[in-house]
Structure 1
Amino acid sequence: MVSESLTPWIMRVTQPDKSTDLFEAQRPRLLRIAYRMLGSMTEAEDIVQEAWLRWAGVDGTNVREPAAYLNRTVTRLCLDVMKSARARRETYFGSWLPDPIVEPENDDMRFDELTLTLMLALERLSPLERAAFLLHDVFGVPLDEIAETLNREPSAIRQLAVRARRHVQEDRPRFKVAREDGDRIARAFFHASTNGDLEGLRALLTHDVVIRSDGGGKVLAFRNPIVGIDRVLRMFAGLYRKHVSQSAILIRPVWIDGLPGYISREHGKFLQTTAFEIADGRIAAIYITRNPDKLAHIAELT
């Protein structure tokens, strides 16, 4: 027989908590908003956890619009974090890249049209511009709701979104890449770069190709971008001569924030993601992430 003193506790465990259900229904969207705002999956998860703690402190069943309430909470928490994040990136060792997010293999399951390239473009925006652009253009939040979130008039929010849109317009993908073509190019690049096939690499790259590599000061990476096909080919030639006996392992091709690429293990120990911006069938930019702090969630996929 169950003690009467335990009955309320048991009821809470065995009966669904509607407030919790409301939050969990919004969690995936909240995580995407936080990631797009911050470019860091770890920080995004922390933000969503903080939002949950705040949500647990109110009676969610009495909140008229839970989605709007939670969007507002997460956005404001992100704005607070962005102040310190921008300061940290000013002293970041080498190139900073967003955490690589591996996407579903089904193109129809993509959450939005942002790419890694556009994520970098968002870094040029002010926090308010970034919030207005993401909430309005990407997540479809009404202007009035964004205005309440950011404590601005709707007309001011419209101006913020227009200004942000203008800044990132030039970085929008101009060439649609089919998944099979992207996977083919990614595989061809991996084999050419790890086998010292410089002519094969030359055929894959644009004249003004650029490489950005993020090691976070924790593993070896290029501190500054490498620009131009001749410099890139010399760099890969040098790497091949130095590590010819330590071949890389291709784990699998993947799509990273809208760009084709792959996960690999370099020289037998370093996990790495490589993503490619493709322009008219050739690689225009290469984004290499080696910072282990940004790859913990990737390691679970290998």
Structure 2
Amino acid sequence: MSERVFAEHRNLLFSVAYRVLGSAADAEDAVQDAWVKWSSADRSRVAAPKAYLVRIVTTVAIDRLRAAQARRETYVGPWLPEPVRTDTADTADADSVSLALLVVLESLSPLERAVFVLKEAFGFSYGEIGTAVDRSEDTVRQAAHRARDHVRSRRPRFPADQARQRQVTERFFAAASGGDINTLMTLLAPDVTLWTDGGGKVRQALRPITGADRVATWFAGIATRPYEGVDPADMSAEITELNGTPTIVFTAPGRVLATLSLDLDAHGRVTAIHNIANPEKLRAVTSGLILHIGPDPTPH
């Protein structure tokens, strides 16, 4: 019985933990920790298993995030979230797990981030969230207000259009792979920023690259150069949905090399590029792990 109940809510628990932590590997560990706690709990006194499990995994995720934030302070180069495959065309839900939003959430406190995730992504009431994070309803309201204001100031939201996102991504890839600086310049916003995450394990820029000229030149320059011992002619690339967004996935025989996703403004210009190449952050993409997006993800 306990295993069945946990299995019914496992996707929800992973979805909560992933948004709080920004790491599929850490989220899986948080879910496993939640299972251990659930297995040893006196379940005869649990009236609402879903709320109880969400409380466990949220507490675990907050603790893990505090530890992770300390490690990320010494990370080599920009730290970006770990990408995952997603399974929805619902753009309203997709934005809640976009890399651009997860990057903004990194600047919140662990409590603010958990409150934001539970309220904005899953629609929990303030009372339910207060129970989950062991805070008063008033404290939760204040944390939610601070988090929303912060996110809105750092990430203005525009109507997501998957067709436009895919079209721009396809044009960007064609121009970048062909070294076409002129086309790249038409696609990039003047203040575009490129974030590359190699984690010190593979060759990537160690600082963000800002400005259309610099970003276009960077992509044109790498188009014909081997990467990690792989010649461009031996690489494959496809556009697939990661984190609710059409994303370019670069592969070589037997491995994923990198992912590249674009963030667009209201005019369809590229404002941010997230390039993830740290091999440790590509395991979820390689394994085919799928994050089910929605207010209450359905079980497998």
TM-score, scaled to structure 1? 0.86
Distance 1:110 1:261 in 2: 17
Question: Percentage identity across aligned positions?
Answer: 39
- Runs of at least 4 residues of structure 1 off by over 6 A? 266-269
Distance 1:154 1:114 in 2: 25
Q: CA deviation at 1:240?
A: 3.2
The partner residue of 1:263 within 249, 263, 280 is 249
Q: CA deviation at 1:59?
A: 4.6
The partner residue of 1:167 within 150, 159, 172 is 150
Distance 1:250 1:110 in 2: 29
Distance 1:181 1:133 in 2: 28
Q: CA deviation at 1:196?
A: 1.1
Q: CA deviation at 1:52?
A: 0.8
The 1:268/1:185 distance shift into structure 2, 3 A limit, reads farther
Distance 1:68 1:300 in 2: 30
Q: What secondary structure does 1:216 align onto?
A: coil
> Please, which moves more after superposition, 38-47 or 252-261?
252-261
Q: Does 1:72 align with 2:58?
A: no
The 1:70/1:221 distance shift into structure 2, 3 A limit, reads same
Q: Does 1:89 align with 2:76?
A: no
> Please, which moves more after superposition, 21-30 or 246-255?
246-255
Partner of 1:6: none
The 1:301/1:72 distance shift into structure 2, 3 A limit, reads closer
Partner of 1:128: 111
The partner residue of 1:277 within 263, 267, 270 is 263
The 1:300/1:39 distance shift into structure 2, 3 A limit, reads same
Partner of 1:298: 285
Distance 1:109 1:165 in 2: 16
Partner of 1:25: 8
Q: CA deviation at 1:119?
A: 0.8
In structure 1, list runs of 5 or more residues that go unmatched.
Answer: 1-17
Equivalent residues of 2:190, 2:212 under 8 A apart: yes
| 1:192-227 Cα deviation digits (max 9, x unpaired) | 111111112112111111100111111111110000
Q: CA deviation at 1:243?
A: 4.3
> Please, which moves more after superposition, 66-75 or 139-148?
139-148
Partner of 2:237: 251
What is the letter of the counterpart of residue 183 of structure 1? R
Partner of 2:294: none
Q: CA deviation at 1:269?
A: 6.6
Larger of the two Rg values belongs to structure: 1
What is the letter of the counterpart of residue 197 of structure 2? D
Equivalent residues of 2:91, 2:160 under 8 A apart: no
Distance 1:240 1:267 in 2: 19
Partner of 1:42: 25
Q: CA deviation at 1:114?
A: 3.8
Q: Does 1:226 align with 2:213?
A: no
Q: Does 1:148 align with 2:135?
A: no
What is the letter of the counterpart of residue 273 of structure 1? T
Distance 2:89 2:112 in 1: 31
Partner of 1:3: none
Q: Does 1:207 align with 2:190?
A: yes
Q: What secondary structure does 2:129 align onto?
A: helix
In structure 2, list runs of 5 or more residues that go unmatched.
Answer: 290-300
The 1:202/1:298 distance shift into structure 2, 3 A limit, reads same
The 1:112/1:224 distance shift into structure 2, 3 A limit, reads closer
Q: CA deviation at 1:236?
A: 2.2
Q: CA deviation at 1:291?
A: 0.7
Q: CA deviation at 1:248?
A: 6.6
Q: What secondary structure does 1:113 align onto?
A: helix
What is the letter of the counterpart of residue 270 of structure 2? I
Structure number with the bigger relative contact order (C-alpha 8 A, sep ≥ 6) is 2
Distance 2:93 2:248 in 1: 17
CA RMSD after TM alignment = 2.4
Equivalent residues of 1:19, 1:59 under 8 A apart: no
> What pairs up with 1:114-125 in 2 under 5 angstroms?
114-125=97-108
Q: CA deviation at 1:228?
A: 0.0
